[in-house]
Amino acid sequence: MSAFKPLRELVSFKGGGTPSKQVPAYWNGDIPWASVKDFASTSLSETQDFITQEGLTNSSANLIPKGHVIIPTRMSLGKAAINTVDLAINQDLRALVPKVALDTKFLLHAVLSLKEEIVKKGSGATVKGITQEELYKLEIAVPEELDDQIRIGHLLGKVEGLIVQRKQHLQQLDDLFKSVFLEMFGDPVRNEKGWSKPELKAFGKISTGNTPPRNEAENYDGDFIEWIKTDNIAGNAVFVTPAAEHLSEVGARKARTITAGALLVACIAGSIESIGRAALTNRTVSFNQQINAIQPGDDVSPLYLYGLFKLSRAYIQSHATKGMKKILTKGDFEKIAMIKPPFVLQNQFAVIAGKIEVIKARYQQSLTVLEALYGALSQRAFKGELDLTRIPLPGIQSEEEKTVAAEPSQAPAEQELTIHLPDTDNLLAALESAEARKHLLAQWLEAYRGQLGSAPFFLQRFMAAAQTRLAELHPVNDFELGASDYEHIKGWMFEALTAGRLVQSRNVTDYDEKSGEPIFGNSIELKACQT
């Protein structure tokens, strides 16, 4: 059972401060000093700034021992992190010091579940902040048993870990995309390879979008065509995300449309940093007046053009007007000079980039599913609606698992083995190709064999672990291991026996009470060779 309790009953807040910038002796010491800019993830292990012991002593900064949940109270509202090192904090942060027994990971995810409420309660004309009193009023559902807190924290932490992993994969693919472009074409601004550099109007037809009148209901809420706004150009994928609304056929006649393969570029936004975000279309869409579109000519590859804009955003932003509202007009946009290598080379890049983007789309889909899963689990957990009886404590097998594990051997000295199968770069290929999967299973089997120690090898236990690992690494895929995979595993077992990497022995069913000698059964066990 869970009971809703205000944070005031659960924690006290510990704030911080900033040593005087006018005293050099207070800075560049060996004490990490955290501020809002250090909140890049839910683990606070590094800071951009450091202070000295003198700076700590002569300011209101507080040293927070590692293992505390820390939250911002100004800017970045709704974020939270656990400090994995001792560090000092500034006045915009608060450390949560428990008054009662609270699992740290549970508290972290509980605070993260309050993000919308925290943001809503934030106030301020330019920089949003929330008072300590408002934070104290926030309520979370706290299980009566500490073990249940641990279960919730562990479950949400596992999903969050997969989310972090997917984001890392996407970043790696982004880095690969950029490195391929730079290897083939060099820096697009410096143009050290000396490519021709015409104005953008030489790359294709450029047009500015339009917004149909909002006061005419017949223009919207149809199903004729998607209407793209700058919010839909996320800048982290080739193809634009689905639009928030559709135009009717009447509205589409009043808007401007562009066909598949066109590049949409944000040219009016709230900040200069938003200008230059680009996305390719994979369908006919309409777009608003904050966007310029390029329909590439016959001598320009759309994927090359996307890569060119992706690596030239700062250069494009430098052409925007410098007034109160940053604008890149169609006239100024057309005059931007950019490199234009031979079409055959553009196409060579497009082949590689296309393959990268296919993989990236799969990981993006996986990330979306995981984020939705985290949100649903978090919502249920902190409303007290999650069935915690089905979640084992971390490091502890369920009773069913213990029963199954005990059947082959009752040796009192043996510990139940947890199988750890490594991450892999060839997962997607393995899901699609039996031959690639054979190599993946062989890699995992060797990892399992290396972890056995004196424990026996169980084929079914390995298959269950492999199936679980596949679901963790690629949860959006419903792939299941089949008969051919079973045969591959058996083939590996026989080959390992022949090579001496596995050995056969009689199973131990019990131990003699007096002598302590093992009592052998009639079945044969496989074990890793210890020599």
DSSP annotation of 312 reads -
Same domain as 284, residue 247: yes
Q: What is the CATH number of the domain that holds 298?
A: 3.90.220.20
Same domain as 118, residue 54: yes
Specify the length of the chain in residues.
531
Q: Which residues pair with 513 in a beta bridge?
A: none
- State which of 110, 144, 178 marks the end of a domain: 144
pLDDT of residue 110: 93
| Residue ranges in 382-458 assigned as alpha helix (H) | 399-406, 427-432, 434-451
- State which of 305, 321, 338 marks the end of a domain: 338
Give the count of domains, the chain.
Answer: 4
pLDDT of residue 334: 92
Q: Cβ(203)–Cβ(340) under 8 Å? A: yes
pLDDT of residue 185: 95
Q: What is the pTM of this model?
A: 0.64
Rounded to an integer, what distance in angstroms lies between the CA atom of residue 254 and that of residue 294? Answer: 19
Same domain as 317, residue 183: no
Same domain as 129, residue 153: no
Same domain as 181, residue 51: no
Same domain as 488, residue 427: yes
Q: What is the CATH number of the domain that holds 379?
A: 1.10.287
| Residue ranges in 199-268 assigned as alpha helix (H) | 249-254
**HEC profile of 259-285:** CCCCEEEECECCCHHHCCCEEECCCCE
Element (H, E) at 496: helix 483-499
Same domain as 25, residue 94: yes
pLDDT of residue 97: 92
Same domain as 349, residue 332: no
| Domain hosting residue 32, numbered range | 2-144
Q: Find where tokens 């925290």 sit.
A: 118
Closest listed residue to residue 235, CA positions, set 179, 291, 193: 291
3 state SS of 225: strand
Q: Find where tokens 């089905």 sit.
A: 390
pLDDT of residue 245: 55
Mean pLDDT by 10 residues, the chain (531 residues): 85 92 93 93 92 92 92 90 93 92 92 91 78 90 87 90 89 91 94 94 88 59 49 50 52 68 78 75 78 90 92 89 75 93 94 88 86 88 77 54 34 49 68 78 85 77 76 60 76 79 62 50 60 56
Residue 294: other Cβ atoms inside 10 A: 24
- CA-to-CA separations, 59 to 21, 63, 68, 83, in angstroms, rounded: 11, 11, 21, 21
Taking phi over 0 as left and psi of -120 to 50 as alpha, with beta for the rest, 453 belongs to: left
The HSE-up count of residue 118 (CA atoms within 13 Å, CB side) is 25
Same domain as 334, residue 205: yes
Structure-block tokens of residue 348: 């060579």
- State which of 338, 355, 379 marks the end of a domain: 338
**How many helices (DSSP H) and strands (DSSP E) are in the chain?**
16, 22
Same domain as 272, residue 206: yes
Same domain as 288, residue 270: yes
Same domain as 150, residue 137: no
In one letter, which amino acid is 493? M
* DSSP secondary structure letters along 30-87: EEEEE-GGG-SSSEE---SEEE-HHHHHTSS-EEE-SS-EEEESBSSTT--EEESS-E
Rounded to an integer, what distance in angstroms lies between the CA atom of residue 191 and that of residue 256? Answer: 34
pLDDT of residue 406: 31
Q: Cβ(205)–Cβ(334) under 8 Å? A: no
